[in-house]
Structure 1
Amino acid sequence: MDSLESELDRARDLSVADLADAIAEIGFECTRCGACCTAEDDDPHTATVFPDEVRELQAATDYDFRDVARPMPYGLTETDDGGVEGETFEWALQTDSCGDCSFYAEDDDGVGACTVHEDRPLVCQTYPFSVALAGTSQPMGEAVDEAGLVRAHECEGLGRDISRDDAEAMAATLKERAIRELEEAIGVRDEYEPANPRSGAVVVHDSEGAKRPDGSAYER
């Protein structure tokens, strides 16, 4: 397997024009269905957010850290009292009591919208696409279509015409996200030290070190 540094070099060398060609070949137009922002069956919405993106959302909303993000549930185990414990390696956008993204809202006609659209994380800006490089994430499960290095994930907007300008804008953001994901992965790897949290505690390892669920540093 290529090293994360090699994959990062590949991400930095990606051609925006080639990515745009792939996006145009697949086709996409957002229908504002809200499926990518809401819970699926019994699975809460999970969208990866970088530490600095959490702070940007805090600044945009004046929310507390916990109102913006939560520990990614993967890797955590449920306790007897219904809580969770353990160590995880990503932050996810916070969800409401229904498991939907806490920044998602519907108008009176049932049309969905992001309440922080201008400040939404890269994973939201680029959905339903991802880049097929090791160390990058695949949102919402396995790809349902692909062209070149671009993977497309389940979305009712796939297959629709997209303008060249929109395809290139999406491609540039998709490249940025791939680079950021790999930089984050390298940072997590370099900063990681087993925290061995006590029973009932949760620790999130990100590129800035080990943290508590409220975003503060975890003292071992």
Structure 2
Amino acid sequence: MDLDAELDRARDLDVSELADAIESIGFECTRCGACCKGYEGDDGPEPHTATVFPDEVRALQEAGGDDSKGESGTPMEWRDVARPMPYGLVEGDDGPEGETFEWALQTTACGDCRFYEGDDSGRGACQVHEDRPLICETYPFSVALGGTSQPMGEAVDEEGVVRAHECEGLGRDISRADAEELARALKERAVRELREARGVTDAYESVETGPGEVVVHDSEGAKRPDGTRVQ
């Protein structure tokens, strides 16, 4: 796959056309929390898994220190915000081990995003909404280009570039202004995903791991689960 060519495609995406696709199906967040919670998979409970870029982790470290889940004014620890993406890791005697690529938002013991807070009505909200990652800002939509994350979803436009994923908020009215705002974020996410993928490829060097050791490769190089660099 030519990541540079796909990155050029992402940069050439027309925000107006993306907005047309979003507007054609409609969307309004109902605060159901389904995209923030763990779920029941074929093999049992599965935790919420959402990709987060390294700079987004750092932004959440700062933002999380000012909400109810962190001590006010004190940045959160890296591992309190993000966890190694589980794909590629194996379960050893001392826990997960091996090499993996990228980070996922940290979860609670029940598998929900650690920044999600529900209420008695079954609805909820993100506690760091203004600093939420692009994958959260753009859900339930994604752009299907080579090198971007492409979970299963139904094509919204004729070209199949814009995908809509399962969400009870789909089919609701959306203003043109909101559709364009979402489209701009969707384009930014596609560009960022491809830049990150290229960065991971350029920075990757295999690291030998021992029992209970995990190494995460992102665009900044190899890191431990606490975010520190592997020397």
TM-score, with structure 1 as normaliser: 0.95
Spell out the pairing of 1:103-118 with structure 2 (5 A cutoff).
103-118=115-130
SS in 1 for 2:35: helix
Query: Could you tell me how far apart the structure 2 residues matched to 1:28 and 1:108 are?
Result: 24
Residues matched between the structures, number: 215
Does residue 230 of structure 2 align to residue 218 of structure 1? Answer: yes
Structure 1 portions without partners, runs of 5+: none
* Contact residue 93 and residue 211 of structure 2 kept, 8 A: no
Q: Give the deviation of 1:106 after TM superposition.
A: 1.1
Structure 2 portions without partners, runs of 5+: 65-74
Does residue 57 of structure 2 align to residue 54 of structure 1? Answer: yes
Corresponding residue of 2:156: 146
SS in 2 for 1:24: helix
Bigger mean CA deviation after superposition, 84-93 or 146-155? 146-155
2:146 to 104, 111, 134: 134
1:162 to 163, 167, 174: 174
Corresponding residue of 1:121: 133
* Contact residue 58 and residue 64 of structure 1 kept, 8 A: yes
2:101 to 89, 92, 103: 89
Does residue 88 of structure 2 align to residue 75 of structure 1? Answer: yes
Percent identity, aligned pairs only, is 70
* Contact residue 137 and residue 181 of structure 1 kept, 8 A: yes
* Contact residue 93 and residue 212 of structure 2 kept, 8 A: no
Q: Give the deviation of 1:19 after TM superposition.
A: 0.3
Q: Give the deviation of 1:135 after TM superposition.
A: 0.6
Corresponding residue of 2:13: 14
What RMSD over aligned residues (CA atoms) do the two structures have, in Å? 1.1
Q: Give the deviation of 1:124 after TM superposition.
A: 0.3
Does residue 207 of structure 2 align to residue 195 of structure 1? Answer: yes
Does residue 78 of structure 2 align to residue 65 of structure 1? Answer: yes
Query: Could you tell me how far apart the structure 2 residues matched to 1:6 and 1:65 are?
Result: 33
SS in 1 for 2:125: strand
**Counterpart of 1:49 in structure 2: which amino acid?**
V
Q: Give the deviation of 1:154 after TM superposition.
A: 1.0
* Contact residue 26 and residue 145 of structure 1 kept, 8 A: no
1:100-152, CA deviations, whole angstroms, 9 ceiling, x for partnerless residues? 000000123332100000110000000001001001113xx411343241011
